[in-house]
Structure 1
């Protein structure tokens, strides 16, 4: 490491022994978030840090924690909370590598492994505990072999997700077990109001460093962001063709395909494997050893395609991911940012492709407005896509038939019930409460969407191009009609947005043309099948 780079770390307070460790990892100078946060953390301040995925957030809190630990080594010194298994293991690895001179002891508490074994590790007072909230809350409620009353640091990595409703009860259990005097460090790619003004984790406002990137673009400049327009019913076909086109020039590149649900993830993975497109999948219903095995195969190039839910959108540090594909656009912009942040890391270039339909133009616009970047088209040959339409569609249906839906749902229920029984509550009553909360959330989300559609239609009415738009929807819509109302009016809004955007003016004609070709291909296939059956019948009769 040259003197000028070493000086940059020295200027923000990093000790020589840690700089030497960074040198062994090939890290030559601090990233902006490290420059903005490390010195303030070393000075004893609470900190909220927000930066793009891949910007060095983990070392921004790991370096000052290890430097303080070296002055007075004891356990448990720091607690790091994270929303996913994969991110927990990633953080633990980085602490372990940096802390080698200290003979650092790191304990991972995430579930998926034996709880008694985890309890024994906690009882040995490791220096650093990296945990998921649910499993750690279980240990706190049911075990007295360890204490968190002496920790100096509490870190929430991916804080925006941790402050979501699903983690709140577990976080309250954990925070009640911590000392009042400690440093709180919150890091994420995005800062939400829940992070900045949390009711369950009040921060020291007098000694609080809030650091965000000055670059208004939320995705890195080395990331090439594209879209592929396709019919909704042919999304899988265009996924296959996108992967094939990319693999023609980069056969051994690492690709992550993101899906919305665990079931969709499993089905897509099975479908791609069935048509000889090798891959592994990663989702929340897989056991920990299965998830670890999938990641090992992906990292070691045994499998170069990973099909995953948003469980892989945060924390996976695989520097060589070349392409991210969104099978569907995520509902929230911050999830899009996390997904595409899996590629173009640490200054490398990368490509992100999102499959969109005519029903996604509004959502695409919301994403582009936030990231301050316009996506460009990744061209797919429609004629080639039509040729594989029937094969892909049939294969998809076959894999769906094989999937055991009941097993998927049962795994989810079993996990919830086990947690509730350990907490001493009635699982059936909790299920009823959960269902009621789910209904309320869905109802609120639908009303919010209706309000947004009405606002857009009002804007269109005032525009020169929108004078002939259909009348505005009534906000007095009955609950029974709300789904149909949203669907019908969302279609109108997307259609108007396509007319206003030069990129999508010809989409409707293109989609109609693809449908005609797909129908013709299907008819030809069916005709050939009939001919084969007739020919076989004649042969059998002879």
Structure 2
């Protein structure tokens, strides 16, 4: 039945059989709509909820097209994170086994010379993060992307948006290196925000499919919030984790936070409370990231503390709880984070810790997801009992982290990137300091001006009140 269902989309029997071995028994809506369009040769923009089978929606038709005319490099897939790139490569390997598929993963944190050799051997599929592939294009002429048939952008909105990690500079040389005549496939859970930018890249009258329902999160997800004061957030976090560990010992939890430093501090702190956990963030070495993720997937530890590198595309079906240590600033970040649980029809729960400054962010999330978040009940008395212990432990972890070279690698990479761009890192640092000094001077001037204006306003008000008082005294004297 499964093979017949996939075959009805135009897929060959061998492709359908391979999909069945991977557990794809019936096509999901995104597969049912996008696969025929891709097989027809159309560009495709697909928008669907997390966990809806978007990766297979482009992997299956690409493999079929490759089997008709096998050559390398046939397809380029771009992903925003290293972990997602390796996950996509794994699907290509499993589904493309009958073809003797050759793939190559090009991401940061790995040896560039080894990667250059792999690219020179002309693999069928290249899966890459934009930064590292752009480095190879700028410095390496042993491979060419001029004959690719498919360009795929997975989590396309993240690749094209301008934010804390801006891929624009890296995408420009990549787009210039691929042929204009190609099929461009773009997939994401939150595609509509950058639809105009996506249309600029996929110019060949693309087939566009968006999930019929406007709800961006699955109905199996129980979405909660907890209003907490900023300074006691960690105490509530420890209490919630302890509650889940006591009631459901086998449950796995992902805790999302907004910075690498906070991720590391929370991981250190939770370990001191004897919680089995690991950290995943961008300043870790790639081997550490692989190790952490594999240990979490195999339940060696049940808690993963992560930045948003773990929020996109990672398929870990057994995650039961997602906790947002910070309220995401954008609703789509929230959607991707909570999409790590309640996957493939399973149930899950998400809890967002909300401070007094985040109420407007919760309202934006509710408006985007068309879902009202419910309050998560806690016993505040139990939180107060552990408050001092948690705050002291957190401070100890902060001091310990400050004594290490945490964040030093990030600065080294920034300097390397500046040198590659032909800039002098020392001159850039000097220029930034000068600009900061000018900015600080302007702020001080504005502050002094504001203080002067306030003093003048206060003096005028004082004079006005004195005049009023004198008039009242004169009137009172005449009446006597």
Band the TM-score falls in, shorter-chain normalisation: 0.7 to 0.9
**Aligned residue for 2:37?**
40
Displacement of 1:197 after TM fit? 3.1
4+ residue segments displaced more than 6 Å: 432-439
After TM superposition, give the deviation of residue 284 of structure 1 in Å. 0.6
Question: Is the Cα–Cα contact under 8 Å of residues 184 and 202 in structure 2 kept in the other structure?
Answer: no
Aligned-pair CA distance for 1:201: 2.2
User: Match for residue 190 of structure 1?
Assistant: 190
What residue number does 1:134 align with? 131
Q: How far does residue 179 in structure 1 lie from its aligned partner after superposition? A: 0.9
Residues 40, 429 of structure 1: alpha-carbon distance in 2 compared, 3 angstrom cutoff: farther
Partners of 2:3 and 2:17 within 8 A in 1: no
- Note the C-alpha offset of 1:418: 1.4
Partner of 2:293: 295
User: d(CA) in 2 for partners of 1:254 and 1:437?
Assistant: 47
Kept in 2, the 8 Å contact 1:223–1:351? The answer is yes
Alignment of structure 1 residues 344-383 onto 2, 5 Å:
344-383=342-381
Shift of 1:133: 0.5
2:469 is matched with none
CA distance in 2, matches of 1:60, 1:438: 48
- For 1:72-151, list aligned pairs within 5 A: 72-151=69-148
Deviations 1:48-98 (A, max 9, x none): 111111111101111111010011111110000011011001111111111
Change in Cα spacing, 1:405 to 1:118, as seen in structure 2 (3 Å) is farther
The change in CA–CA distance for 1:151 and 1:401 in structure 2 (over 3 A counts) is same
For residue 198 of structure 1, report the CA deviation from its aligned partner: 4.3
Describe the SS at the equivalent of 2:23: coil
CA contact (8 A) 1:227 1:378 kept: yes
Q: Deviations over 1:122-178 (max 9, x none)?
A: 111111000010100000010111111110000011111111231101100111111
- The structure having more radius of gyration, on CA atoms, is 2
Q: Deviations over 1:220-245 (max 9, x none)?
A: 01111111222211100000111111
User: Residue 63 of structure 2 corresponds to which residue in structure 1?
Assistant: 66
**Does the residue aligned with 1:403 lie in a helix, a strand or coil?**
helix
**What is the alpha-carbon distance in structure 2 between the residues aligned to residue 46 and residue 85 of structure 1?**
25
Distance 1:289 1:436, change over 3 A: farther
Residues 221, 96 of structure 1: CA spacing in aligned structure 2 closer, same or farther, 3 A cutoff?
Answer: same
Give matches, 1:376-455, under 5 Å: 376-404=374-402, 407-428=405-426
Q: Give the structure 2 partner of residue 510 of structure 1.
A: none
How far the C-alpha of 1:192 sits from its partner, in A, is 3.9
CA distance in 2 between partners of 1:394 and 1:159 (Å): 42
For 1:525, the equivalent position in structure 2 comes to: none
- 2:406, 2:139 → 1: CA distance? 28
Pick aligned residue for 2:154 from 154, 157, 168: 157
RMSD: 2.2
Q: Which runs of 5+ in 1 are unaligned?
A: 443-477, 482-542
Q: Is the 8 A contact 1:159 1:195 kept in 2?
A: no
Instruction: Give the number of equivalent residue pairs.
Output: 439
Counterpart of 1:55 in 2: which secondary structure?
A: coil
Q: Distance in 2 between matches of 1:293 and 1:85?
A: 13
| Contact 2:28/2:52 (<8 A) preserved | yes
Equivalent residue of 1:197, what SS? helix
In the superposition, the TM-score normalised over structure 2's length comes to 0.87
Given the alignment of the two structures, is residue 203 of structure 1 paired with residue 197 of structure 2, yes or no?
no
In structure 1, C-alpha distance between the alignment counterparts of 2:80 and 2:217, rounded to whole Å: 22
Distance 1:360 1:162, change over 3 A: same
**1:411 to 1:24, Cα distance in 2 relative to 1, 3 A:** same
Query: Gapped runs of 5+ residues in structure 2?
Result: 440-444, 449-480
Counterpart in the other structure of 1:214? 212
